[in-house]
Structure 1
Amino acid sequence: MDFMKLLKSLEELLYELISWFVFYPLTLWRIVRRPLHMLSYAERQLLEEEDRQFDDGLSPPVLLLISLIVLHSVGQLSDPAGDHILTGLLADDWNLLIFRAVAFSLFPLVFGIIQLRANRARLTRTTFKPIFYSQCYAAVPFVVAVTLGLQCVSEAELSTPILVAGSLVFVAGLVWYVAVEMLWLSRSAKLRPVISATIVVTTLVFAVPLFLFLALVVGLASGSITLPETL
């Protein structure tokens, strides 16, 4: 009996993993093509029964995690020597992936709180979850574009076309993210575009240093980053 349950669990796991090859690019394409629709879709899906949620796509946190795994793999293939740059806890691939997942989740976290405040809603687990899920959808193309752009720019020996392409991808991801957040905040909180644009830009100005500060603190705590010795 236990053996049959194990086989059933393995069967479900295999199907879930294989289905990602179809639903990952499909979900990502739908977000890029119709971002506001997909943000609404994420919030609506949590109202469905649990076994029917995100039946025609991937859930936002899973999509973000898969994106980070794919980006990490691409980075390893393009720069195998880069694995030896980090030391301490972050030298381990799984620790690094967990850190990146938490760090990049700061963007959905901050924008989700901003959206709740703009809607004058109380911050609870119930009210925050659908907003966080929708914000994860918005963050995925941004994370993919910015990470790929930085990987291209950070290569030691670059040709000019690759450098230009990486810069364009980075800027395109940033502009896309700002535009989506501005339109979404304007729609969800019924704000004027100028006000929502100001809020989004101000939030990013706060979120990016927070992201870098978290990276610094974790790097120092894990031993992956060391401060220069004072004279």
Structure 2
Amino acid sequence: MDFMKLLKSIEELLYELITWFVFYPLTFWRILTRPMAMLAYAQKELTEKDEEQLDDAVSPPILLLLTLVLLHVLEGALSPGTASALPGLLQDDRNLLVFRALAFSLFPLLYATIRLRVSGARLTRTTLKPAFYSQSYATVPFVLTMSLGMLLLAHSEALPGGWLWGGTLMLAGTGWYLAVETTWLSQTSQVSGLRAFLVTLGIFFAALVMLLLVAITVALAARQLD
């Protein structure tokens, strides 16, 4: 009986993994072309029954993690010696992926928290989860464009115009992200467009500072362990 349960679990896991080949690009495309609808979709789906949630899309945290995994593989292929330059703790692929996932999750976490505060909702684990899921969708294209842009900048010597393409991609991704967050905050919290933009910009820079502080703290801690 236990063996059959194990086989059933493997069957479900294999099916879930293989469907990512379809739903990952589909979900990403829907975020790019219909960001407001997808942010609302992420919040709405958490009100459905567990087996019916996100039935036609990849879960936001998983989508973010998959994106980081793909970027990590690409970075390893283009810059095989990069890992050796990192602190010992982060030279392990699993530790590096966990660090990046937690670091980039600061963006949706901060935006979700401020979104609840501005709307006057009580901040609890239950109310934060739908907002965090929603913001995770918006963060994925930003993370992808920033990471690809940094890769292009790192290989600008080998790629003619790489610095231009890299900088343009990073600016475009950041502009898209700020525009989406501003529109979403303005629509869902009934605040003016200007105030929504200023709040969005403030959160963005706060997240960048926190990301930098976390990176410095981890780097120092890792060197102490080496």
Pick the TM interval, shorter chain.
over 0.9
Cα offset, 1:5, TM superposition: 1.3
TM superposition score normalised by structure 1 = 0.94
Cα offset, 1:27, TM superposition: 0.2
Secondary structure of the residue aligned to 1:81 is coil
Residues 1:200 and 2:206 are matched in the alignment? no
Query: In 2, Cα distance between the equivalents of 1:19 and 1:117?
Result: 37
Q: How does 1:19-168 map to 2 (within 5 A)?
A: 19-155=19-155, 157-168=157-168
Cα offset, 1:156, TM superposition: 6.6
Tell me the equivalent position of 1:229: none
Query: In 2, Cα distance between the equivalents of 1:96 and 1:14?
Result: 25
Contact 1:83 1:91 in 2 (8 A): yes
CA offsets 1:179-218 (integer angstroms, 9 cap, x no match):
0000000001011111101111111121111111101101
Distance 1:224 1:109, change over 3 A: farther
Residues 1:223 and 2:223 are matched in the alignment? yes
Q: Match of 2:85, as an amino acid? A: I
Q: Match of 2:40, as an amino acid? A: S
Distance 1:35 1:224, change over 3 A: farther
Contact 1:153 1:163 in 2 (8 A): yes
Query: In 2, Cα distance between the equivalents of 1:223 and 1:65?
Result: 26
Query: In 2, Cα distance between the equivalents of 1:225 and 1:160?
Result: 40
Q: Match of 1:101, as an amino acid? A: A
Number of residue equivalences: 226
Query: In 1, Cα distance between the equivalents of 2:65 and 2:159?
Result: 31
Q: Match of 1:88, as an amino acid? A: G
- Indicate the percent of aligned positions where both proteins have the same amino acid: 49
Query: In 2, Cα distance between the equivalents of 1:224 and 1:215?
Result: 14
Secondary structure of the residue aligned to 2:82 is helix
Q: Which runs of 5+ in 2 are unaligned?
A: none
Cα offset, 1:162, TM superposition: 2.0
**Bigger shift: 139-148 or 198-207?**
198-207
Query: In 1, Cα distance between the equivalents of 2:197 and 2:26?
Result: 29
Query: In 2, Cα distance between the equivalents of 1:133 and 1:222?
Result: 30
CA offsets 1:139-169 (integer angstroms, 9 cap, x no match):
0000000011011102273333222111111
**Bigger shift: 154-163 or 79-88?**
154-163
Q: Which runs of 5+ in 1 are unaligned?
A: 227-231
Contact 2:156 2:163 in 1 (8 A): no
CA root-mean-square deviation? 1.5
